[in-house]
């Protein structure tokens, strides 16, 4: 009996791991399909009306950190994240619901809404960090983060590296804290390892610095 239970458990684990292993491939497949399409910005504006319920009409997000500003974010960054939520490679119940087949039908819809959002004018956060983007935050960012995210935290569309400049302080802090505590599994492993070397004060300084950066 114990042997049967053990075998059954092993089979279930194998099936689970196989399913999980397929998620990144499915995400990559849908992302690649989206970025090689010609986006329809007008259709993207119509699709975004659903997104605006949380992200705001101007894609400004919410300063309390619950919803990021995504206005002027890179096209490929948005497409990558949408593909992640749709394939559950990145988990968030709200986003998983609003990116499902009932709201985004497939790669063309991803391309359309990503193109629309990426061309919106950037938003200046209404409640940046408590400091003034102090020298400590700048020093840490330039030494540890700028090589990927850019000297001015502008990100990189080709590498689907997100723009961080002007993002809400609380959102940045929450996401980085999740990564350091292994609650953001979609982060690249090397990214998560690097963040584990940050002291709590380092994270707040960097987030404060980024929130004050103008796009």
How far apart are the C-alpha atoms of 135 and 172, rounded to whole Å? 18
The per-type count for the chain, helices as H runs and strands as E runs, is 10, 0
Looking at domain 26-118, does it have CATH number 1.10.3720.10?
no
Give the model confidence (pLDDT) of 35-45 as tens digits.
999 999 999 99
Assign residue 201 a region: left if phi > 0, alpha if psi is -120 to 50, beta otherwise? alpha
State the Cα–Cα distance between residues 113 and 51, nearest whole angstrom: 9
- Residues of CATH 1.10.760.10 domain(s) within the chain? 26-118, 135-212
CA proximity to 213, closest of 154, 142, 130, 146: 154
Mean pLDDT taken over the chain: 85
156: β partners:
161
Q: Is 210 helix (H, G, I), strand (E, B) or coil?
A: helix
pTM, entire model:
0.84
Domain 135-212 bears CATH identifier 1.10.760.10: yes
pLDDT band at 5 (very low <50, low <70, confident <90, very high): very low
Query: Which of 10-19, 100-109, 132-141 has the weakest average pLDDT?
Result: 10-19
Question: What pLDDT does 14 receive?
Answer: 41
Residue 32 CA, chain-centre distance (Å), reads: 17
């Amino acid at each position: 009996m114990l042997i049967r239970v053990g075998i059954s458990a092993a089979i279930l684990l194998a099936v689970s791991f196989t399913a999980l292993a397929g998620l990144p491939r499915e995400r990559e497949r849908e992302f690649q399909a989206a970025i090689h399409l010609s986006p329809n910005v007008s259709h993207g504006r119509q699709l975004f009306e659903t997104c605006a319920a949380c992200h705001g009409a101007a894609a400004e997000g919410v300063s309390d950190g619950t919803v990021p500003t995504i206005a002027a974010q890179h096209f490929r960054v948005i497409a990558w994240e949408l593909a992640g939520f749709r394939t559950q490679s990145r988990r968030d119940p709200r986003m998983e619901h609003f990116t499902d087949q009932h709201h985004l039908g497939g790669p063309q819809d991803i391309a359309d809404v990503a193109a629309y959002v990426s061309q919106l004018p950037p938003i200046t956060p209404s409640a940046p960090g408590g400091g003034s983007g102090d020298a400590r935050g700048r020093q840490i960012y330039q030494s540890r983060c700028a090589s990927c995210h850019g000297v001015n935290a502008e990100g990189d569309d080709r590498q689907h590296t997100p723009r961080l400049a002007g993002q809400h302080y609380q959102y940045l802090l929450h996401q980085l804290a999740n990564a350091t505590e292994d609650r953001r599994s979609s982060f690249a492993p090397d990214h998560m390892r690097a963040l584990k070397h940050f002291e709590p004060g380092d994270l707040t300084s960097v987030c404060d610095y980024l929130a004050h950066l103008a796009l």
